[in-house]
Structure 1
Amino acid sequence: MNTRKEKVLICIIIILSFALIGTIYINSNKSTEVIINDSNNAEEKEMNDESKIEKTSVIGVHISGAVKTPGFIWIKEGTRLGEALEYVGGTLIDADLDAVNLSKKLKDEEKVYIPRIGEVEKYHSMDNNNEIYSSKSDKININTAGIAELDSLPGIGEAYAKRIIEYREKNGLFKSIEEIKNVSGIGEKRFEAIKDLITVK
């Protein structure tokens, strides 16, 4: 009698064991499906994000002059000058915003100079990149010009402007415009681009 009960008990245990194993197997398959689906969703999201980045082009521009943090910035293609000024901390209190076109859409590799009030009387626009050059006369006097004025010349950024002033302080006033070629980094090509915009008188 006891043997029969033991057999029945063993059968019940075996059945329960199979049921438990089956349940674990089914749940395991469901978990795998969820992981696969999550992985696929993550890949699709990543591809969509990359697609969005490709559709949003960026350009690099250089803004100098009467702004709080002049320098190179990355902005979205189609950004207007007025919007781009926010990326350089805004303008200084003496910035002459009437001298520039705030609605202008900026282009890649473009440089824009924001003049100070009273600094600009005439504007010279370059055909190749629409840069604005300014001075109180037709030409910039390299013997008296500060960093901002020299920085506005084509091919002369803030670094070269500082070199010009350092050369002037060390060697005295320039005796001719050709002498500017003695400044480190200013060769014949750079001189040709600025010779009609500078003077020593």
Structure 2
Amino acid sequence: MGAVYLWQSRPTSHPLPPPAPIAAPHTSANRPTATVMVHVTGKVRTPGVYTLPAGARVTDALKAAGGLRDGAHPGVLNLARRLLDGEQLAVGTKPASQPPGAITTSPLDPTATVIDLNTATIAQLEQLPGVGEVLATRIATYRDTQGGFRSIDQLKEVSGIGDRKFADLKDKVRI
């Protein structure tokens, strides 16, 4: 009798149900949206403000604006660059020695430089105190993946920037 009981109480396997499909990600108020909004102006067929998917490139914004006008050239624009939310693309402008507005002076101290986090190059970010090539690259990568900085406090979210480094940088940058 004991053998029958042991035989009937042995574990049996049951197949698992198929996995449920993965739902599309949803956007919450705390996460960046999946779009960028850019203002395209200058020598394009239809200047205006356009909403494009996050990760869109300058060339995508030009297409959204109807393309270049006849005989126009994109000027100094890097057509392969990812767009930042809220930026303006001036098409067919004369070249500048640096991105417009990337480096300015402080109104309180005209000798102090203030760097725009959303438009500065890696080389310009390296001019900040205590920022080398690696940290400048991290700042630029964070900016590109997050759709730009919306607040200077977001610098604290960049790997390698703690409270002390942030205190050194906050008066030397702007958005």
> Shorter-chain TM-score: which interval?
0.3 to 0.5
Task: Name the structure, 1 or 2, with higher relative contact order (CA <8 Å, separation 6+).
Answer: 2
- Indicate the structure (1 or 2) with the bigger Cα radius of gyration: 1
TM-score by length of 2: 0.39
How does the TM-score come out when normalised to structure 1?
0.35
Larger helix proportion of the pair: 1
